[in-house]
A and B are shown apart, each in its own frame.
Chain A
């Protein structure tokens, strides 16, 4: 058990377009990880498709880099598409 690999699990819900991260499972290999993910994360009818990815293969940003990576975008409100006047014919987007 301690030798099992940790996998991150992504589920696509019935109406959702993209797979969303829902948690992780332990398994001996990817096929077993799919089965285990099915048992843990789709038993209440949550999804129609599963992805599993070995957790070790995910490269994450470092918490120490939070400021240099993300702070500069805080004051650049012009990057949000909130300055356009929508013609009334467009209606709700």
Chain B
């Protein structure tokens, strides 16, 4: 593997790991507050799946990085500007409509990405993705069902979904627009075809929104923030401050 490809793969692993980690952290914020006991357990189960996946990606990134940092270091000692997660997942949970829609947009993207990675030429990536794909197949099914229920539910739930949509939609630009890193990794056979991922995501959203009787907006356009460049919205710093407080304040703590 040449030097550029090596750096590209590390960057991409950080994107996968950071997105899973931040999404999991957002889900954890529902702990003790979910609208029903059943939902609470479901949210925490999804969150724990994602923490496990984040660990797998970050461990591989740490190994390739070879600078002595391990997965915990990458998760708990990196600052906001070094995080490479999608802008979508760092957005606040809002009400349950925002939480559900955010999860659905992420799951639909995640599923398409993992399908590509499950055929990766990199055996380690392939293995992690194949395992994660089983979990995410369920995540997508669950969040898709919730989008339908709320979109085509009561007048109240529908209004809340219609209000959540414009809040989140602009962040979906990152889900369908590959950068040079991803194009090179695709050419090398390490990740799936970015065009296919974008198409799959779009189709999944259209199908689910049709069943949910929700309107599909025009494709989102670029704006000045970019999660994969480390230029985040104001919400990520607060999230990381909470998540990273303990290991930063007590570096030698064990439990």
**Listed stretches B25-33, B37-45, B100-108; interface member:** B37-45
Contacts of A1-16 to chain B: CB distance below 8 A: 1, 4
Q: Fill in one digit per residue for A4-36: 1 if any B CB lies within 8 Å of its CB, else 0.
A: 100000000000000000000111100110011
Chain B residue at smallest Cβ distance from A1: B36
Main secondary structure of the interface of B (DSSP, over half): helix
Which residues of B lie under 8 Å from residue A46 when comparing CB positions?
Answer: none
Chain A residue at smallest Cβ distance from B149: A28
Given A28-B149, A32-B145, is A39 in contact with B35 using a C-beta cutoff of 8 Å?
no
Contacts of B162-181 to chain A: CB distance below 8 A: none
A39 to B45, CA, bound (A): 7
Report A21 CB to chain B, min CB distance, Å. 17
Some 16 contacts from A to B, beta carbons below 8 A apart, are A1-B36, A4-B36, A25-B38, A26-B36, A26-B37, A26-B38, A27-B38, A31-B145, A32-B149, A35-B42, A35-B142, A39-B42, A39-B45, A40-B38, A43-B41, A43-B45
Our pick among B36, B37, B145 for the contact of A35 (Cβ within 8 Å) is B145
Report B50 CB to chain A, min CB distance, Å. 15
Chain A residue at smallest Cβ distance from B42: A39
Report B107 CB to chain A, min CB distance, Å. 14
Q: Are A36 and B38 in contact (CB under 8 A)?
A: yes
Which residues of B lie under 8 Å from residue A28 when comparing CB positions?
Answer: 149
Which residues of B lie under 8 Å from residue A35 when comparing CB positions?
Answer: 42, 141-142, 145
Chain B residue at smallest Cβ distance from A28: B149
List residues of B whose CB falls within 8 A of some A CB. Answer: 35-39, 41-42, 45, 138, 141-142, 145, 149
Contacts of A41-93 to chain B: CB distance below 8 A: 43
Chain A residue at smallest Cβ distance from B37: A26
Apart from A26-B38, A39-B45: 7 A-B pairs, beta carbons within 8 A: A1-B36, A4-B36, A25-B38, A26-B36, A26-B37, A35-B141, A39-B38
Chain A residue at smallest Cβ distance from B142: A35
Q: Are A1 and B35 in contact (CB under 8 A)?
A: yes
Which residues of A lie under 8 Å from residue B39 when comparing CB positions?
Answer: 36
A32 to B153, CA, bound (A): 14
A27 to B41, CA, bound (A): 13
Q: Which of B35, B38, B141, B149 has the most CB of A within 10 A?
A: B38
A43 to B49, CA, bound (A): 11
Which residues of A lie under 8 Å from residue B45 when comparing CB positions?
Answer: 39, 43
Our pick among B35, B41, B149 for the contact of A40 (Cβ within 8 Å) is B41
